[in-house]
Structure 1
């Protein structure tokens, strides 16, 4: 029993990837990104690689120093334009480089531009004659060490110390804080106290060109030679390292390598890419041109600060995302689009668009591609293990697979998949292109029984689940509820559902969880109650998906984890031991867009081996690998430009502060980068310029932003980056000030202030002068106005006097008119009196006086004479007529002038009418009848030219 347990443990150890212990996986290929010369615009060969504290990567290239910050490539050349063969970056950011007879360092100036400072000038004339190629640069105990084949230069405090090679150097290495050199005669030399001390037993390596040294456990060192293979040294003797790695290097030669976490060794080859082996020499991973590299000659390798791998190639640069739980099987493994996968009889089977493929699961994958199962050239939609039988649903039909070939064709119609029937043990129902078929498994053999009648629609996009009562089929836009007959030959009951809840339209997905059928819409999960013949919501399952985007597919794997797809992405709810779920979707964000829509495939063998089908192959995911690979990204301003200057801020040792820009350069441009090299194309940026913008801009892959015509003031530009896993960086910022134009500058405002003061003073003085003048002129004007007013008063007084005189005259006239009226009245009374007296006289004349006595007759005659005298002596009327003419002289004059033909009699009539005398009064005065007055009026109107409607008296008054 103990032997069996030991065997099982060894077997599991052999098949479980080494990702349990580190990031390097022995199954599948890591994500690889190749950069061509046209990308970095440099030479072909890249000899060395290093990284600064900001994460920027530098390459020693044939055309100079190449810098890459994740967004932009920059190139810097040596003065003699020679190739750079070595480089090293110290903690201060100085980039030490070496070339042919030239070495020094690049350092940013005050504007962030990398400037080269040569150290070759410090070499004496004697030593400068044969500097040769600088192949290695080390930083060791505060010194910078430049090593060529002939000399070693130790640089500190701007001074150089030179040590000549005892014979001829090959290369140098720092191992476990010790500095070693290979001498062609003396073997391996250790540098101590400015002396070179030969190590015991290393002269056997003199005929071998050592390109790398690696520390091994138990105080041992591994030597990687160019053509002689790998050797192990225990500080006494050198022995060949008889391992898989050594066999590979002997066949393909080595150009050195690097080490990952002191656990894995990367070995560069000349002929066949790189291998990654463990410390026992077992090859974990082999990458070459066939597996995605653009070149098989690897000149250098470098492990960056995230344990990802950079390769300097004979022609190009390659980035390998080793620090990831994902690896991939792509075209190099002979597979295309993957719809399903399963492990059966120690083989991994994969259903693809090109047929069914398999690969041994118990032996390492290494370089062997997948092999096609014989007889499965057509598209394979599914591969399943049912009742210990491997079934393939393909375009060629329902196939039984055994011994990696088609054992039996159950039905020639195309099939999508198979399900066991819970209520009929041993029976299987298959989904064909035009309905359903029944198969039976008996006596270790599976056979086609019949096609189910009653439903023959095409189900090329479907979801199907079975429970004890119904077969459920989702086919847009319906959910079919179907019941199989007892003999499984037909559907006795078919019902269509348009929705499963009155609150939510449509049907999202159909899935089986814990052997129960669930229906999902808008992340709400329902089950069906046969008793109530209705759907009811499962609140517990719904609550799990509250904070998850709307899903379109849900799959429960063999470990009860819930895998869901959304927006062409995938996530998982990992089931914990206590029954709770832990949601994860960030690790899978890099698969977005590569999943097969409507055919989400997740095959969980164990937590270390999870396979996910992709449009371009198969992804392998190890959930036990720490999520430390998802780190918070950093973001930097690469450059800050205005129309007058450019500052490369990414190279500055200190953050840019107190930057002032003239107003005529207020067109500014920012470029920014995030040294996040895995899935760099999915890195997005957001930014805002305060106070110009209040809110952050939407996330975008654009790493350049310009602002034009900014006003003067203080500004703060902030940027954030978000990597492909959706993790945001902290904001980086640049504070700068735009000076106002000269006419809005502080000095200008000060000048304006003094000019205003001067203007106020001058204006005040002129105003005072003006006031004095105005007072003088005002006095003159007041004098003039006084005189004018006095003259006006006098004039008004004169006019008033005239008015008074006029009023007196009018009053007098009124009085005269009143007197005239009174006079006329009296005159009329006199006329009446005279008329009466004349009547008396006439009556007296009719009396016969002869009958009277003398005395009486005398008295009678006396009375008669007295009456006649009274009548003859009364001149009242003549006086009245004269008076009337005098009073109305002006009127009569105007009337006569206007109407010369008017007669005196008509003038009198006009006067009487003007005095508003009645017809009777006029008749008496004029001694005519009233009819005569009317006739006279008529004649007067005619002479005056008046019509019947015009008033005669009003006309006369207007004259």
Structure 2
């Protein structure tokens, strides 16, 4: 196999002794200059016609456009219009950018916000010299800035304007090595000496020839470009022809401008033929036109930036930039190459490229421009995706994905195998057979007299992705599943006689692996790197693999797991690591000394492929592009040393997009300061004006004062900040290009002013206002409170008077009513008591003569009479208590003895009702200062009620003392009292059962009188009851202090 390709994370391409490549004689394989970029009008959104390009001290690019001055920082375009919005024709720059426009000229300077604005010098021109149109030339010299219009030449030295006038008109002007040259349409080439424009010596040889280009030649002469007479060398006295073979081309395509390139080369812009690049001998180096990627062959201006890249101002296509310093060009869809590149093969001076879209062949254009042919790709036939190519006995074999293997001869093809997914082709040196790794196993092709015959290798099953030769009669293979195996073939090569598999137990990593031969040793590659056999002298069944780090260069920060390599026939190993190319000579121990191809610059890709041809041409491919690098060609490094620099380009508010900082200051400093009102969410735009990289720069940010940590690297050239509190913040930004080079840290100090309501004056105002308001409020509150208290006092007095009056009247009414009630009760009770006494007395008389039946009636009359008597007595007692007629005689009384006496008297009644009656009093007497008569009445009422309302069970009477009090407790198992009636229990005439629902007799006065008597003797009655379970009444009095003291003495 001539060239092979395996697509995995670590790509290995080997040629070894099997590589057969050659350089076609005279075929130009160059594509589009790389890197290059077309800035179309939609990209910068302004007019398509441009007239000039210049770069300032910070690396920003400025373009003279019909709508104004375009500014480009590598990340974004901005328009700076002139005062009147006229066309801009010319530009020049040193610390400022100077502008020549239609009927006006001036310069760019930042305003108070740092936004770059156009400043016109029109008002400084004398009024009688303001009649001019386009300013076609602008030049910066030591003594001032020169603006060249058609009729006038102006010089501005910073304070005043000096003018030169031409009747015939000034055509063009040039500044070379600090000297200004102006071509007068009548007088010819003039040189400014002091304040005089003098004819250049030797002018008589080209008196009226228009001049469009002037630059210094390495010989010390001036290289002058014209349309009619081509290129001329001027030694200060005479003009002589130079590179006369270009004369007709420059005349036909109208030379319009030119500039010097690094390496003593020159770019000549034409109005139809693109740009011609020549060297110092006048030989054509390159022609940039439509076939080489230039979108517009009418080029108005060419300019070399500080990196040595060529900028072209196009007449109707925008701006084009190309790097012509390294012999690196690009092939993609613009040169006819489509699909992801998988292999390159060059038999018989033909360059074939296998891609995902088919097979392509590189051809030269038939049309020549100045002896140059630009190359382009043509698709060969209708082949589908091509995986691999191989040359065997003069036949080109092509492995495809869907249609098997084809034999290619000229423009003819023949299918010689119909396997699906043929990934790899291999022909061992000692064999005539070509082996193929396919989805369905190992296949073979054998040459015959009539062509080729195909067969399947017995025992070679599985999806085989890569093949490598071993010792005679053996092959190495890897499968999609990650298996690696060594197979031994039969003598006829049609059968596998032995197979040894190797995996993790043998030192290989997990995951997909491929096989190849590096330095005559079988090498397994994977995401972990390269692995070779550690003990090759032992039997294959016990071979162990180890990671061979000496096959990779040691580069810090590089992704060693994404390496791509290629071995030349001469024994050199080429390796791609990220976006760098290394080469080293192989030895027994690997590669000891690595060299890097420094000028080579290409975009980093996860799918980069590497090919080397015998003519020292390096081919690199990623998914969609093919890069060609001529290793033997000269690399032009004559350029200023340019460091990557990060710039803070603009600060705007997020809500309205208002610019608060334009990125420019009157004096360039490393640390600028910016004051911003409170409440602005900000967006900070940054840039790194270095244009020679293919991938966008990366940036990281830090806002000290809010977060002191750097962000991760990212390609977004802006950062947003929201909800910034007042204070001082230090914005930091650092840039990094795709080579890993980092810039210095650029900074911008942000002073977020507090809102007006949190400013120092506001706080002072708040303080004074607070004191005034506090005093005023205090005074106001005092007065208000005094008035309120006065009003309240008046209302209170009035209410008290009214209430007192009402209470007085109510008390009088109540006293009168109470007196009437008491009188009524007393009178009624007294009046009823006398007849009742007579009736009871008469009963005693009647008993002597009554029969037994009459005796029963007399008993009933006596019983009801006694009940009525008790009721009347109770009413009289209540009346006397209310009226205060009854006075208490409180003396220390042993309440236990009183309780025992009353209980003993009522025992018979309880037992008569069938109740158990218990008396429990302490052995030691307990005393309380009470009226003994009334105490007994209270106890009697409680015991009688207990007997009355208890149908069965028992009644218990007890006494005792607790916590400085003495008590008598009456407990029964009667009907109990409902919880709702307890609050009314001690009210007068209140009974739980009323009306027809009454089941027990009573008048409701006993408990009321008892409670009243207890209260008058400083005691109280309480009850604990549960319906249908019984009640416990407790009457409690303070212990007698006199008796308590005597008892304490006894203790």
Q: Same fold (TM over 0.5)?
A: yes
2:618 equivalent in structure 1: 610
Deviations 1:416-471 (A, max 9, x none): 5543425x2666545567655666799xx996476352156685843544444631
Distance 1:36 1:689 in 2: 36
Q: Which stretch of the first structure deviates more once superposed, 460-469 or 586-595?
A: 586-595
2:515 equivalent in structure 1: 510
Change (3 A) 1:628 1:382: farther
1:473 equivalent in structure 2: 477
1:20 equivalent in structure 2: none
Is the partner of 1:518 in helix, strand or coil? Answer: strand
1:266 equivalent in structure 2: 267
Is the partner of 1:649 in helix, strand or coil? Answer: coil
Distance 2:947 2:303 in 1: 137
2:677 to 662, 672, 695: 662
Distance 2:598 2:236 in 1: 48
2:375 to 369, 372, 375: 369
2:705 to 691, 697, 703: 691
Distance 1:209 1:594 in 2: 53
Aligned residues of 2:147 and 2:154 also touching (Cα < 8 A): yes
1:419 equivalent in structure 2: 426
2:16 equivalent in structure 1: none
Deviations 1:63-114 (A, max 9, x none): 11111112222112222221010111122x2x21112221111211221122
Note the C-alpha offset of 1:312.
Answer: 0.8
Change (3 A) 1:176 1:370: same
Change (3 A) 1:681 1:545: closer
Aligned residues of 2:115 and 2:664 also touching (Cα < 8 A): no
Distance 1:203 1:685 in 2: 58
Distance 2:907 2:333 in 1: 139
Aligned residues of 1:349 and 1:383 also touching (Cα < 8 A): no
Change (3 A) 1:433 1:239: farther
Note the C-alpha offset of 1:677.
Answer: 2.7
Change (3 A) 1:47 1:626: closer
1:674 to 688, 699, 715: 688
Give the TM-score taking structure 1 as reference length.
0.70
Distance 1:252 1:152 in 2: 29
Change (3 A) 1:297 1:495: same
1:485 to 482, 490, 498: 490
1:36 equivalent in structure 2: 40
Note the C-alpha offset of 1:38.
Answer: 2.1
- In structure 2, the gaps of 5 or more residues are 1-21, 780-890, 909-916, 925-945, 961-966, 970-1034, 1036-1051
2:549 equivalent in structure 1: 541
Aligned residues of 1:672 and 1:703 also touching (Cα < 8 A): yes
Change (3 A) 1:189 1:378: same
Is the partner of 2:375 in helix, strand or coil? Answer: coil
Note the C-alpha offset of 1:359.
Answer: 4.7
1:846 equivalent in structure 2: none
Distance 1:159 1:894 in 2: 133
Distance 1:190 1:889 in 2: 147
Note the C-alpha offset of 1:386.
Answer: 6.0
Distance 1:951 1:186 in 2: 151
Aligned residues of 1:340 and 1:613 also touching (Cα < 8 A): no
Distance 1:355 1:456 in 2: 29
1:142 equivalent in structure 2: 143
Aligned residues of 1:334 and 1:371 also touching (Cα < 8 A): yes
1:350 equivalent in structure 2: 353
Is the partner of 1:268 in helix, strand or coil? Answer: strand
More helix by share: 1
Q: Which of the pair has more CA radius of gyration?
A: 1
1:638 to 612, 631, 649: 649
Distance 1:512 1:754 in 2: 89
Distance 1:489 1:944 in 2: 123
2:282 equivalent in structure 1: 281
Is the partner of 1:657 in helix, strand or coil? Answer: strand
Change (3 A) 1:950 1:669: same
Superposed, 1:658-807 pairs within 5 Å as 658-663=673-678, 665-679=679-693, 682-742=696-756, 744-746=758-760
Aligned residues of 1:557 and 1:604 also touching (Cα < 8 A): no
Aligned residues of 1:101 and 1:133 also touching (Cα < 8 A): yes
Aligned residues of 1:507 and 1:519 also touching (Cα < 8 A): no
Distance 1:693 1:174 in 2: 51
Note the C-alpha offset of 1:347.
Answer: 4.7
Deviations 1:456-512 (A, max 9, x none): 668584354444463112121022332111222322223454546467322433222
Change (3 A) 1:611 1:749: same
Q: Which stretch of the first structure deviates more once superposed, 325-334 or 294-303?
A: 325-334
2:344 equivalent in structure 1: 341
Change (3 A) 1:491 1:601: farther
Distance 1:594 1:204 in 2: 61
Change (3 A) 1:913 1:708: closer
Aligned residues of 1:65 and 1:76 also touching (Cα < 8 A): yes
2:857 equivalent in structure 1: none
1:881 equivalent in structure 2: none
Distance 2:706 2:253 in 1: 60
1:555 equivalent in structure 2: 565
Deviations 1:34-57 (A, max 9, x none): 222222122221111111111111
Change (3 A) 1:502 1:405: same
2:121 to 115, 119, 122: 119
Note the C-alpha offset of 1:320.
Answer: 1.7
Change (3 A) 1:521 1:40: closer
Superposed, 1:234-253 pairs within 5 Å as 234-253=235-254
Aligned residues of 2:31 and 2:374 also touching (Cα < 8 A): no
**Higher RCO (C-alpha 8 Å, min separation 6):** 2
Distance 1:889 1:99 in 2: 130
1:854 equivalent in structure 2: none
Note the C-alpha offset of 1:575.
Answer: 0.9
2:938 equivalent in structure 1: none
Change (3 A) 1:173 1:499: same
2:531 equivalent in structure 1: 526
Q: How many residues align?
A: 777
1:773 equivalent in structure 2: none
Aligned residues of 1:304 and 1:310 also touching (Cα < 8 A): yes
2:594 equivalent in structure 1: 582
Aligned residues of 2:680 and 2:722 also touching (Cα < 8 A): yes
Superposed, 1:54-133 pairs within 5 Å as 54-91=58-95, 93=96, 95-129=97-131, 131-133=132-134
Distance 2:142 2:921 in 1: 143
Distance 2:622 2:354 in 1: 11
Distance 2:466 2:85 in 1: 65
Deviations 1:837-865 (A, max 9, x none): xxxxxxxxxxxxxxxxxxxxxxxxxxxxx
RMSD: 4.8
Note the C-alpha offset of 1:360.
Answer: 7.7
Note the C-alpha offset of 1:371.
Answer: 6.5
2:603 to 591, 611, 625: 591
Deviations 1:175-217 (A, max 9, x none): 3433211122322212112222222333444453321113223
Distance 1:489 1:233 in 2: 77
Distance 1:460 1:249 in 2: 59
Change (3 A) 1:480 1:137: same
1:494 to 485, 499, 502: 499
Deviations 1:215-240 (A, max 9, x none): 22333333222455333434444444
2:211 equivalent in structure 1: 210
Q: Which stretch of the first structure deviates more once superposed, 65-74 or 744-753?
A: 744-753
Note the C-alpha offset of 1:549.
Answer: 2.7
Distance 2:300 2:760 in 1: 60
Change (3 A) 1:913 1:719: closer
Distance 2:299 2:722 in 1: 47
